Structure 1
């Protein structure tokens, strides 16, 4: 068997996994779409059988939340069928699978943090597609950890931090919703958590289950934006608006808070401080603070 196999190569978490692997001299292979196309679910399973790794981390997904309303079949193939096929392959090889999921599987009501065992009720096609993937993994019999996270940011790809920085170049004021609350989560922290969980599952498959991992403290998008501009010294003003004033094709959950206590107790992983992660992200981007 070879080392760790990562499905995904260019996404935020996949890039951070490769960075950490290089820094720690880990045996890790990340496969892009050319080698493991999630739109063809069987291709991912075939890649797992071909490489016979000691563990698999699925860091690839369809993440275009609004476009998924029109492409739900494609989103479900990528986020639902492909992870299920990966899990079946992992079951056959008796290796663990770490799969990244989302807070969007919940209804987003109330203000209590969602626990791993709470009832799910996705509000949009993206959430439904991610839920389908979770269920496929659970029924496969694979040793697995489904890691739900939220509001991912890094120096790579498209994310809220980079959007705010770009908008601040040309605008004196930006309107940002203030009634959606969640935990901004550094992609590098998610990558480190995935590596730790994959290692522990190899030795303790009884830790199989669904877990939550998000940054602390919980914040609104508006307060997150203000923190970005405060840290970078940019004069851009942030106007707080309700979600109703910023309609989108896909409904967003208002409550994205995640209860991460089980992750801490089982794997010894504490919620990452997103303020520290934000500073690191800005350094990656070459933005002075």
Structure 2
């Protein structure tokens, strides 16, 4: 009887705890109702444009015919995926995507961090604002404009080749030779986005306590030591979050950038999954193959996020 009473008491307490949580939840919702209402447009956007189209992934398992539609097309199992992995063009696109992404992560990811640390050390307010404005501007230019600038700068008659000729060299056909294309992609991406990406780290640096810097200066620390021992560790959580997000989009090399810069001569080193999906879907009208390629890309991105999150937790546990 005593055991039954204890069990019933525990059940009652559990139910009361659930009820109290529900009450607290409704209290918070009512108290901050206007803030939650502000979330509605964003949630609707995600639901309509990100989750609703996921129904279309079914065509990745179909021999999709446009005039028959999703409901009328026949299912063919994994034939579309088998076709992809037997296609040399797709294998080349996957390889190029990983290589270019690796370059952008290894070379491009640290640049905004270094830039933010350097800007944070500038003491002249006017000079600091001018530098930030100049570095932010390229972000607001579309890749169509940026591609036009790059093509003109690196053309045979462009300023870069003119300078090479003045120094006694021969003109380089940058957009005809494969060995230059990946470097152009990485450098132009860094140039365009480094100022904008540095904003997050600059915002994180404002949260680092000024007392730490004052204490370090009292102990005789140099500005470089303050940067490495206080500023960098202070923004390390933000760096890890940004790295996690970067790894989640590691296969998003930049369709607009590549599409506006490459040509058939550069397919061997510049063709990526996104451009392959575009050609196979909108040029060859094989929508089921492009859907399968897109699904493969999403699965790999999900695996990368989970793996990166796991290793980050391991690093945090060992700190």
TM-score after normalising by structure 1: 0.24
Larger relative strand fraction: 1
Q: Which structure is higher in RCO with an 8 Å CA cutoff and minimum separation 6?
A: 2
Whose radius of gyration is greater, 1 or 2? 2
Larger relative helix fraction: 2
TM-score after normalising by structure 2: 0.22
